Amino acid sequence: MIALPALARTDMIGALFQLQMAPNQQEPTLVWFTVFTIVKMLIVFTVLLVGVALLTLAERKVSAWIQDRHGPNRVGGKGGWLQPAADGLKNIMKEETYPGAAYKPLFILAPILAFVPALLTFAVIPFASPLPTPRGLVAMSVADLPIGFLYILALTSLGVYGIVLAGWSSNNKYSLLGGLRSSAQMVSYEIAMGLSTVAVLLVAGNVSLSRIIYQQATTVWNFFGLTIAFFLFLVAAFAETNRLPFDLPEAESELIAGYHTEYSAMKFSMFFIAEYSNMVTASALLVTLFFGGWDIPFTLWDNQAPWTGLKTLLTLIVFVAKLLFFLFFFMWVRWTLPRFRYDQLMSLGWKFMLPLALAYIVIIAGALLWLDWLGIRPGGMWGLLMGALNVTLAAIVFVMLDQGKLLSPASSRVRREEIARLRRMSVPSAIAPESGD
Amino acid sequence: MAIQVKVLARPVAQVSYVNAMLSGMALTFKHLFREKVTVQYPEQKWDISPRWRGTHRMLTDEKGKAKCVACGLCPQICPANCIKLVPGEDEEGNRYPLIFEIDEFRCIFCGYCQEVCPEEAIHLGVHYENAEYSRAGFVYDLERLMAQTHPVCEMWDPADPKGE
């Protein structure tokens, strides 16, 4: 590993490797490590799938409430708790249809390709503080990879294959259009997503998610320190998960159902599971990168050894609460903002978010370098200066850059000459009916 | 033909997407806790107007016979031609319908039959749950029309006959 900053000596990983601790605070042996990992895999997989099923219910409930309706309330009592089970049963019992012109191998493979990366990405997200067991300390993420964030960037870009292949193999023009849109959209927003997090990685000095959480716990959550990075990441996350206002690959009103037009039964619901798993992962990433992950706010008690079961439980609850907030936020936004037009989507991604993310990296990197050069170490003064910088930048972006602009083109004013030019292009009678036809 | 594009001048200086988005989010959040407007249909039912024009009823006299005298006015006035009437006469010379059928699929529920009926026998009903397993089930014969129990349609409010 590259030389860690001075902070590393007292951090969590450092504490993990100090071998003078009690046996339940030490790394487990290889055999037990394997056993723990398999158990964690099974638990996380099950919880994720059940959670996704419940999310479909939650989505329908939130949609209903926002539209002053009740939502599903027939299956399993007043809350409709068994609705996901009924939906699942229905999807399994339904006929699997294969369009005659579809390319069958890819048609079958596509839902799997959409589904697997969506589940895999959750593997590196730490969801609680390490759990001490008699056989050693268990990290509460399926795989605590030192390259955690890069792994996520790599895997989320795989998800697009499922959608593009579904669109192509269906041999349907709407599906193909949906697939193409999705590929363009995902490629565009992945750049903004990756660049927006560079600031986070710069401040943390590492790409390991547990390090990023530790850095936030010991200083301040990145939401308060790197607000613009948060909003860039948030927008990109919406685009990456194909959720409204960026659901162009589905776009019911334009493309029927987009890439999954031809799918039925369980293959269709696999696309849904993929979408919701992506949503869970995106929310988990937002929580981890910007809201301190499983960190309990205002206390360092939960971030230090000795680790206890109580700490694990409490941090898990805190993590789930933050996660649920973002999942709700996804649904809330869905019922507030209408869908972008395709050119608006592209110009927002390329002409606004990409330059902004690049400029932000330069500013943050410059500020960090400058503070380092001045000899100001992370601490009170450092936090104050970074906070002041953040407030200034947020004011510039959310007040100055926001005012007086139209969405298409997303990042520039419609000038008087431009309007005049457009008017000259149109037939005179359309704008000046009094002149006669 | 060229597409005619009309470009409107927009108040660009006042546009703020952040403000618009925040006020939108606040609005949808308020709706989360609003009173729900759903009527839980099979359990709860909407109160429909007494002037509702639904499937027909044939009213009966004290003896339980249909009031219809087979005058033939209702098939005459029916714009959808959905009433089939074959008149008959008993020994005392009273006319009565041998066959009286209404095809509720053809019916446009205009209510002319009720308006024209001199005996106030045929009426539209305040009723809307008409599901059937077959198309034939929608041809209501006399027996069925007499057996209906739902309230009949008031074509006008007696207190306000002109609908003012």
pLDDT at A115 over 60: yes
Between A63 and A378, the more confident residue is A63
CB B21 to CB A336 under 8 A? yes
CA A339 to CA A407: how far, in whole Å? 12
State the pLDDT at residue B10: 66
List of residues 6+ apart from B112 with CB closer than 8 A: B74, B77, B78, B79
For helices A227-240 and A173-204, what crossing angle results, to 10°? 160
pLDDT tens series, chain B, 164 aa: 566 666 666 677 777 888 888 899 999 999 888 888 888 888 888 888 888 888 888 888 888 888 888 888 999 999 999 999 998 888 888 888 889 999 988 999 988 888 888 888 888 888 888 888 998 888 988 888 888 888 888 877 667 766 66
Q: Are the C-beta atoms of A142 and A162 separated by less than 8 Å?
A: no
pLDDT grade for A306, boundaries at 50, 70 and 90: confident
CB B34 to CB A68 under 8 A? yes
By the CB < 8 Å criterion, does A430 face chain B? Answer: yes
CA B43 to CA A174: how far, in whole Å? 41
Q: Are the C-beta atoms of A330 and A238 separated by less than 8 Å?
A: yes
Please state the φ and ψ torsions of residue B117, each to the nearest 5 degrees. -65, 120
Q: Are the C-beta atoms of B102 and B82 separated by less than 8 Å?
A: yes
Tell me the average pLDDT across A373-394.
Answer: 78
- Domains of chain B in sequence order: 54-147 (3.30.70.3270)
Give SS3 for B88. strand
Tokens of B38: 């759903």
Between A378 and B92, the more confident residue is B92
d(CA A179, nearest CA chain B) in Å: 28
pLDDT grade for A265, boundaries at 50, 70 and 90: confident
List of residues 6+ apart from B163 with CB closer than 8 A: B156, B157
Residues of A within 8 A of B19 (CB-CB) are: 402
pLDDT grade for A139, boundaries at 50, 70 and 90: confident
Q: Which of A70, A332, A398 sits opposite B18 (nearest CB)?
A: A398
Number of H helices, E strands in chain B: 4, 5
Domain boundaries, chain A: 6-342
User: Residue A415, class by beta-carbon neighbours within 10 Å (0-12 exposed, 13-18 middle, 19+ buried)?
Assistant: exposed
Residues of B within 8 A of A413 (CB-CB) are: 12
CB A403 to CB B15 under 8 A? yes
In this structure, of A128-137, A233-242, B89-98, the range with the lowest mean pLDDT score is: A128-137
CA A90 to CA A88: how far, in whole Å? 5
Nearest residue in chain B measured CA to CA from A407: B17
> Which residue, among B27, B29, B32, B35, would best test binding to A if mutated, counting the most A CBs under 10 Å from its CB?
B32
Residues of A within 8 A of B10 (CB-CB) are: 406, 414
State the pLDDT at residue A19: 46
User: Residue A105, class by beta-carbon neighbours within 10 Å (0-12 exposed, 13-18 middle, 19+ buried)?
Assistant: exposed
pLDDT at A431 over 60: no
State the pLDDT at residue B26: 92
ipTM above 0.90, yes or no: no
By the CB < 8 Å criterion, does A370 face chain B? Answer: no
Comparing CA positions, the residue from A250, A104, A96 lying closest to residue A168 is A104
State the pLDDT at residue A9: 42
By the CB < 8 Å criterion, does A431 face chain B? Answer: yes
CA A379 to chain centre: 30
By the CB < 8 Å criterion, does B39 face chain A? Answer: no
- Looking at residue B132, its amino acid is E
Tokens of A11: 């951090």
State the residue for tokens 């699929």.
B105
CB B32 to CB A65 under 8 A? yes
Comparing CA positions, the residue from B125, B137, B156, B129 lying closest to residue B55 is B125
User: Residue A273, class by beta-carbon neighbours within 10 Å (0-12 exposed, 13-18 middle, 19+ buried)?
Assistant: buried
Spell out a b/e string for B82-109, using b for 16 or more CB atoms within 10 Å of the CB, else e. Answer: bbebeeeeeeeeeebbeebbbebeebee
Tell me the average pLDDT across A275-292.
Answer: 88
CA B86 to CA B98: how far, in whole Å? 5
By the CB < 8 Å criterion, does A413 face chain B? Answer: yes
Nearest residue in chain B measured CA to CA from A74: B40
By the CB < 8 Å criterion, does B26 face chain A? Answer: no
Between A105 and A17, the more confident residue is A105
Residues of A within 8 A of B25 (CB-CB) are: 332-333, 336
